Protein backbone atom coordinates (compact mmCIF):
# COMPACT_ATOMS: atom_id res chain seq x y z
CA UNK A 1 0.00 0.00 0.00
CA UNK A 2 1.35 3.47 -0.88
CA UNK A 3 1.38 5.94 2.00
CA UNK A 4 -0.08 9.38 1.24
CA UNK A 5 0.60 12.73 2.88
CA UNK A 6 3.91 13.91 4.39
CA UNK A 7 6.46 11.29 5.35
CA UNK A 8 6.22 10.28 9.00
CA UNK A 9 9.17 11.19 11.20
CA UNK A 10 10.90 8.10 12.71
CA UNK A 11 10.27 7.63 16.44
CA UNK A 12 12.02 5.95 19.36
CA UNK A 13 9.73 2.96 18.86
CA UNK A 14 10.92 2.65 15.24
CA UNK A 15 14.53 2.64 16.38
CA UNK A 16 13.75 0.05 19.05
CA UNK A 17 12.08 -2.23 16.48
CA UNK A 18 15.01 -1.87 14.10
CA UNK A 19 17.62 -2.58 16.80
CA UNK A 20 15.62 -5.34 18.52
CA UNK A 21 15.62 -3.64 21.93
CA UNK A 22 13.08 -1.90 24.16
CA UNK A 23 12.02 1.71 23.68
CA UNK A 24 13.27 2.47 27.20
CA UNK A 25 16.72 1.23 26.24
CA UNK A 26 16.74 3.41 23.13
CA UNK A 27 15.83 6.38 25.33
CA UNK A 28 18.78 5.63 27.61
CA UNK A 29 21.14 5.58 24.65
CA UNK A 30 19.79 8.77 23.11
CA UNK A 31 20.02 10.60 26.43
CA UNK A 32 23.54 9.23 26.95
CA UNK A 33 22.40 8.01 30.36
CA UNK A 34 24.00 5.03 32.16
CA UNK A 35 22.40 1.60 31.81
CA UNK A 36 23.40 0.31 28.35
CA UNK A 37 26.48 -1.59 27.21
CA UNK A 38 28.84 -0.25 24.56
CA UNK A 39 27.67 -2.92 22.09
CA UNK A 40 24.01 -2.00 22.64
CA UNK A 41 24.73 1.69 22.23
CA UNK A 42 26.49 1.01 18.94
CA UNK A 43 23.58 -1.15 17.70
CA UNK A 44 20.99 1.48 18.64
CA UNK A 45 22.92 4.34 17.04
CA UNK A 46 23.42 2.33 13.87
CA UNK A 47 19.70 1.55 13.71
CA UNK A 48 18.87 5.24 14.25
CA UNK A 49 21.17 6.24 11.40
CA UNK A 50 19.69 3.62 9.07
CA UNK A 51 16.13 4.88 9.45
CA UNK A 52 17.04 8.58 9.71
CA UNK A 53 16.00 9.12 13.33
CA UNK A 54 17.03 12.44 14.89
CA UNK A 55 16.34 13.33 18.55
CA UNK A 56 13.99 16.26 19.08
CA UNK A 57 16.36 18.38 21.14
CA UNK A 58 13.85 21.22 21.62
CA UNK A 59 11.25 18.89 23.11
CA UNK A 60 13.85 17.32 25.38
CA UNK A 61 14.98 20.72 26.63
CA UNK A 62 11.46 21.93 27.28
CA UNK A 63 10.74 18.85 29.40
CA UNK A 64 13.72 19.62 31.64
CA UNK A 65 13.77 22.13 34.48
CA UNK A 66 16.04 24.39 32.39
CA UNK A 67 15.43 25.08 28.73
CA UNK A 68 19.10 25.82 27.91
CA UNK A 69 17.77 28.27 25.35
CA UNK A 70 19.14 31.74 24.74
CA UNK A 71 16.67 34.04 23.04
CA UNK A 72 17.99 36.42 20.39
CA UNK A 73 16.12 39.42 19.00
CA UNK A 74 17.55 40.71 15.70
CA UNK A 75 16.55 43.08 12.92
CA UNK A 76 16.01 41.80 9.39
CA UNK A 77 17.05 45.19 7.98
CA UNK A 78 20.54 44.96 9.52
CA UNK A 79 22.99 43.08 7.29
CA UNK A 80 25.50 42.96 10.14
CA UNK A 81 23.02 41.12 12.37
CA UNK A 82 23.43 38.08 10.12
CA UNK A 83 27.14 38.00 10.96
CA UNK A 84 26.36 38.35 14.67
CA UNK A 85 23.86 35.47 14.52
CA UNK A 86 26.51 33.21 13.02
CA UNK A 87 28.87 34.05 15.87
CA UNK A 88 26.17 33.60 18.50
CA UNK A 89 25.30 30.14 17.20
CA UNK A 90 28.96 29.11 17.48
CA UNK A 91 29.38 30.56 20.96
CA UNK A 92 26.13 29.03 22.24
CA UNK A 93 26.99 25.61 20.85
CA UNK A 94 30.35 25.67 22.62
CA UNK A 95 28.51 26.39 25.87
CA UNK A 96 25.94 23.63 25.36
CA UNK A 97 23.07 26.03 24.65
CA UNK A 98 20.71 26.52 21.73
CA UNK A 99 19.33 29.72 20.25
CA UNK A 100 15.72 30.74 19.76
CA UNK A 101 15.43 33.57 17.25
CA UNK A 102 12.79 36.28 17.00
CA UNK A 103 12.94 38.92 14.25
CA UNK A 104 12.08 42.59 14.22
CA UNK A 105 10.64 43.50 10.82
CA UNK A 106 9.08 46.66 9.36
CA UNK A 107 5.71 45.28 10.52
CA UNK A 108 6.77 43.62 13.78
CA UNK A 109 8.21 45.57 16.68
CA UNK A 110 10.63 44.62 19.42
CA UNK A 111 8.02 43.95 22.09
CA UNK A 112 6.25 41.15 20.17
CA UNK A 113 9.67 39.72 19.31
CA UNK A 114 10.65 39.67 22.99
CA UNK A 115 7.28 38.29 24.10
CA UNK A 116 7.57 35.28 21.78
CA UNK A 117 10.94 34.37 23.30
CA UNK A 118 9.58 34.66 26.83
CA UNK A 119 6.86 32.18 25.87
CA UNK A 120 9.61 29.82 24.63
CA UNK A 121 11.03 29.71 28.19
CA UNK A 122 14.35 31.22 27.18
CA UNK A 123 16.72 31.49 30.13
CA UNK A 124 18.30 34.77 28.98
CA UNK A 125 17.94 37.26 26.13
CA UNK A 126 20.53 38.72 23.79
CA UNK A 127 19.18 41.78 21.99
CA UNK A 128 21.00 42.96 18.86
CA UNK A 129 21.00 46.75 18.65
CA UNK A 130 17.58 47.19 20.27
CA UNK A 131 15.63 50.43 19.80
CA UNK A 132 13.71 50.15 23.08
CA UNK A 133 14.46 52.84 25.69
CA UNK A 134 16.77 52.04 28.58
CA UNK A 135 13.86 52.03 31.04
CA UNK A 136 12.11 49.27 29.07
CA UNK A 137 15.28 47.18 28.91
CA UNK A 138 15.90 47.70 32.62
CA UNK A 139 12.40 46.49 33.42
CA UNK A 140 12.89 43.44 31.21
CA UNK A 141 16.12 42.62 33.06
CA UNK A 142 14.15 42.19 36.30
CA UNK A 143 12.58 39.07 34.75
CA UNK A 144 15.67 37.36 33.28
CA UNK A 145 19.27 38.21 32.31
CA UNK A 146 19.43 40.64 29.39
CA UNK A 147 22.52 41.29 27.28
CA UNK A 148 22.42 44.12 24.75
CA UNK A 149 24.81 43.63 21.85
CA UNK A 150 26.00 46.53 19.66
CA UNK A 151 24.40 49.42 21.53
CA UNK A 152 25.31 51.39 24.67
CA UNK A 153 22.69 51.37 27.45
CA UNK A 154 22.81 53.26 30.71
CA UNK A 155 21.41 50.77 33.18
CA UNK A 156 22.45 49.12 36.42
CA UNK A 157 20.85 45.80 35.46
CA UNK A 158 21.40 45.40 31.70
CA UNK A 159 24.69 43.99 30.43
CA UNK A 160 26.20 45.54 27.31
CA UNK A 161 28.72 44.19 24.82
CA UNK A 162 29.59 46.62 22.05
CA UNK A 163 32.25 47.93 19.72
CA UNK A 164 33.96 51.26 20.41
CA UNK A 165 32.02 52.88 17.57
CA UNK A 166 33.48 56.36 18.05
CA UNK A 167 36.97 54.87 17.76
CA UNK A 168 35.93 53.03 14.60
CA UNK A 169 34.91 56.22 12.87
CA UNK A 170 38.09 57.94 14.03
CA UNK A 171 40.03 55.15 12.31
CA UNK A 172 38.11 55.81 9.10
CA UNK A 173 38.75 59.57 9.20
CA UNK A 174 42.43 59.15 10.08
CA UNK A 175 42.83 56.79 7.10
CA UNK A 176 41.27 59.29 4.72
CA UNK A 177 43.26 62.24 6.06
CA UNK A 178 46.47 60.22 5.77
CA UNK A 179 45.61 59.67 2.09
CA UNK A 180 45.39 63.46 1.66
CA UNK A 181 41.64 64.09 1.92
CA UNK A 182 40.58 67.40 3.44
CA UNK A 183 36.86 67.45 2.58
CA UNK A 184 35.23 64.47 4.29
CA UNK A 185 31.43 64.20 4.67
CA UNK A 186 29.66 61.75 6.98
CA UNK A 187 26.38 60.04 6.04
CA UNK A 188 24.94 59.12 9.40
CA UNK A 189 22.47 56.57 10.75
CA UNK A 190 19.95 58.88 12.36
CA UNK A 191 18.67 57.32 15.59
CA UNK A 192 19.93 53.81 14.83
CA UNK A 193 21.98 52.08 17.55
CA UNK A 194 25.60 53.21 17.36
CA UNK A 195 24.85 56.19 15.10
CA UNK A 196 25.46 58.85 17.75
CA UNK A 197 28.81 57.31 18.73
CA UNK A 198 29.98 57.06 15.10
CA UNK A 199 28.85 60.63 14.42
CA UNK A 200 30.76 61.83 17.48
CA UNK A 201 33.90 59.94 16.46
CA UNK A 202 33.76 61.50 12.99
CA UNK A 203 33.44 65.03 14.37
CA UNK A 204 36.14 64.58 16.98
CA UNK A 205 38.58 63.19 14.43
CA UNK A 206 38.05 66.05 11.99
CA UNK A 207 38.36 68.58 14.79
CA UNK A 208 41.65 67.00 15.82
CA UNK A 209 42.89 67.39 12.24
CA UNK A 210 41.64 70.98 12.06
CA UNK A 211 39.16 70.17 9.29
CA UNK A 212 35.45 71.09 8.92
CA UNK A 213 32.75 68.49 9.55
CA UNK A 214 29.56 68.04 7.53
CA UNK A 215 26.91 65.46 8.40
CA UNK A 216 24.17 64.32 6.01
CA UNK A 217 21.08 62.42 7.09
CA UNK A 218 21.30 58.76 6.15
CA UNK A 219 19.98 55.55 7.67
CA UNK A 220 20.20 51.78 7.67
CA UNK A 221 19.38 50.86 4.09
CA UNK A 222 20.55 51.24 0.51
CA UNK A 223 17.66 53.63 -0.15
CA UNK A 224 18.88 55.89 2.68
CA UNK A 225 22.38 55.93 1.21
CA UNK A 226 21.05 56.61 -2.28
CA UNK A 227 19.05 59.60 -1.03
CA UNK A 228 22.14 61.00 0.70
CA UNK A 229 24.24 60.53 -2.44
CA UNK A 230 21.69 62.41 -4.54
CA UNK A 231 21.99 65.33 -2.12
CA UNK A 232 25.79 65.18 -2.45
CA UNK A 233 25.46 65.44 -6.23
CA UNK A 234 23.50 68.69 -5.92
CA UNK A 235 26.68 70.59 -4.99
CA UNK A 236 30.45 70.28 -5.18
CA UNK A 237 31.40 66.72 -4.33
CA UNK A 238 33.56 66.08 -1.27
CA UNK A 239 36.67 64.04 -1.90
CA UNK A 240 35.63 61.39 0.64
CA UNK A 241 32.57 60.07 2.45
CA UNK A 242 32.25 57.99 5.62
CA UNK A 243 28.95 56.12 5.94
CA UNK A 244 27.03 54.76 8.94
CA UNK A 245 27.02 51.14 7.72
CA UNK A 246 27.92 49.03 4.69
CA UNK A 247 24.36 48.69 3.47
CA UNK A 248 23.88 52.46 3.39
CA UNK A 249 27.30 52.80 1.75
CA UNK A 250 26.15 50.46 -1.02
CA UNK A 251 23.38 52.94 -1.87
CA UNK A 252 25.93 55.78 -1.93
CA UNK A 253 28.20 53.82 -4.27
CA UNK A 254 25.37 52.91 -6.63
CA UNK A 255 24.12 56.47 -7.10
CA UNK A 256 27.60 57.93 -7.52
CA UNK A 257 28.55 55.36 -10.14
CA UNK A 258 25.26 55.71 -12.01
CA UNK A 259 25.92 59.46 -12.15
CA UNK A 260 29.26 58.76 -13.82
CA UNK A 261 31.35 59.62 -10.75
CA UNK A 262 34.29 57.32 -10.14
CA UNK A 263 35.04 55.64 -6.81
CA UNK A 264 37.71 56.10 -5.57
CA UNK A 265 38.91 58.34 -8.43
CA UNK A 266 36.66 61.28 -7.56
CA UNK A 267 35.21 60.17 -4.22
CA UNK A 268 36.55 57.72 -1.65
CA UNK A 269 33.93 55.85 0.39
CA UNK A 270 34.29 54.10 3.76
CA UNK A 271 31.57 51.90 5.24
CA UNK A 272 31.12 50.38 8.67
CA UNK A 273 30.67 46.78 9.94
CA UNK A 274 32.81 44.97 7.33
CA UNK A 275 29.74 42.87 6.56
CA UNK A 276 29.40 40.37 3.71
CA UNK A 277 28.34 43.26 1.48
CA UNK A 278 31.69 45.01 1.90
CA UNK A 279 33.60 41.84 1.07
CA UNK A 280 31.84 41.22 -2.26
CA UNK A 281 34.34 41.54 -5.11
CA UNK A 282 31.95 43.84 -6.98
CA UNK A 283 31.82 46.20 -3.98
CA UNK A 284 35.29 45.84 -2.36
CA UNK A 285 34.45 48.47 0.24
CA UNK A 286 36.90 49.86 2.77
CA UNK A 287 35.07 49.35 6.06
CA UNK A 288 35.44 49.44 9.82
CA UNK A 289 35.37 45.85 11.06
CA UNK A 290 33.74 44.77 14.29
CA UNK A 291 35.23 41.69 15.99
CA UNK A 292 32.23 39.37 15.60
CA UNK A 293 33.83 36.40 17.33
CA UNK A 294 34.83 38.38 20.41
CA UNK A 295 31.55 40.29 20.59
CA UNK A 296 29.40 37.17 20.42
CA UNK A 297 31.61 35.10 22.70
CA UNK A 298 31.49 37.84 25.33
CA UNK A 299 27.71 38.24 24.95
CA UNK A 300 27.00 34.53 25.47
CA UNK A 301 29.55 34.35 28.28
CA UNK A 302 27.98 37.28 30.08
CA UNK A 303 24.47 35.78 29.77
CA UNK A 304 25.67 32.47 31.24
CA UNK A 305 27.57 34.26 34.00
CA UNK A 306 24.34 35.95 35.07
CA UNK A 307 22.48 32.64 34.99
CA UNK A 308 25.14 30.99 37.13
CA UNK A 309 25.35 33.88 39.56
CA UNK A 310 29.02 34.51 38.74
CA UNK A 311 30.22 37.95 39.91
CA UNK A 312 31.33 40.30 37.10
CA UNK A 313 33.50 43.42 37.28
CA UNK A 314 31.46 45.76 35.10
CA UNK A 315 28.22 45.90 33.14
CA UNK A 316 29.68 47.14 29.84
CA UNK A 317 32.33 45.38 27.75
CA UNK A 318 33.79 47.44 24.88
CA UNK A 319 35.65 45.76 22.02
CA UNK A 320 38.09 47.72 19.81
CA UNK A 321 37.39 47.84 16.04
CA UNK A 322 39.85 47.73 13.13
CA UNK A 323 39.90 49.22 9.66
CA UNK A 324 39.92 46.95 6.60
CA UNK A 325 41.25 48.85 3.58
CA UNK A 326 39.98 47.87 0.13
CA UNK A 327 39.70 49.54 -3.26
CA UNK A 328 36.99 52.12 -2.45
CA UNK A 329 39.56 54.54 -0.94
CA UNK A 330 42.58 56.18 -2.54
CA UNK A 331 44.40 59.54 -2.48
CA UNK A 332 42.29 62.40 -3.89
CA UNK A 333 42.77 63.14 -7.55
**pLDDT tens, position by position, 84-128:** 999 999 999 999 999 999 999 999 999 999 999 999 889 999 999
- In sequence order, what are the residues at sequence separation of 6 or more whose Cβ sits closer than 8 angstroms to the Cβ of residue 249? 187, 225, 243, 269, 270, 271, 272, 278, 285, 287
Return the higher-pLDDT residue of 98 and 77.
98
Residue 94 preceded by cis peptide, ω within 30: no
Distance CA 274, CA 44 (A): 46
Choose between 183 and 314: higher pLDDT. 183
State the average pLDDT for the chain.
91
How many percent of the chain have pLDDT more than 70?
Answer: 95
By DSSP bridging, strand 184-187 and strand 240-243 are parallel
Give the C-alpha distances (Å, rounded to integers) separating 232 from 187, 258, 261, 272: 10, 13, 11, 19
pTM (2 decimals)? 0.78
For residue 243, what pLDDT is reported? 98
R_g (Cα) of the chain, nearest Å: 25
Mean pLDDT value across residues 293-300: 97
Closest CA to 195 of 241, 151, 140: 151
User: Between the CA of residue 304 and those of 64, 133, 155, 190, 247, what are the distances in Å?
Assistant: 18, 24, 19, 33, 32
CA distances from 245 to 35, 51, 163, 273 (A): 55, 48, 13, 6
Q: Which of 74, 146, 80, 129 is nearest to 104 (CA)?
A: 74
Predicted local confidence at residue 318, as pLDDT: 97
Confidence band of 209 (pLDDT split at 50, 70, 90): very high
How does residue 148 score in pLDDT terms, banded at 50, 70 and 90? Answer: very high
Rounded average pLDDT over 306-317: 87
- Judged against a pLDDT cut of 50, whether residue 167 lies above it is answered with yes
Q: Is the pLDDT of residue 143 over 60?
A: yes
**Taking 60 as the threshold, does the pLDDT of residue 166 lie above it?**
yes
SS3 content of the chain, % helix, strand, coil (to 5): 45, 15, 40
pLDDT band at 60 (very low <50, low <70, confident <90, very high): low
- What average pLDDT does range 9-31 have in this prediction? 84
Residue 61 has pLDDT above 70, yes or no: no
Distances (CA, A) of 95 to 81, 117, 166, 306: 21, 19, 31, 14
Q: What percent of the chain has pLDDT over 90?
A: 74
Amino acid sequence: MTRTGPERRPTLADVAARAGVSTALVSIVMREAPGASAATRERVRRAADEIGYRPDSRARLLRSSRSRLLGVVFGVQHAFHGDLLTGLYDAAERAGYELALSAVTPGRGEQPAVDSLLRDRCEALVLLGPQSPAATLTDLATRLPVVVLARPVRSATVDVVRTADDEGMRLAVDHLVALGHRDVVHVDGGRAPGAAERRRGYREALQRHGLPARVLAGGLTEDDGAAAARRLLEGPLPSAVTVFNDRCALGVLDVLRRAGRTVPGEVSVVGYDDSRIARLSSVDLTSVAQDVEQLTTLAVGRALARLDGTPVDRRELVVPPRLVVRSSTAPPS
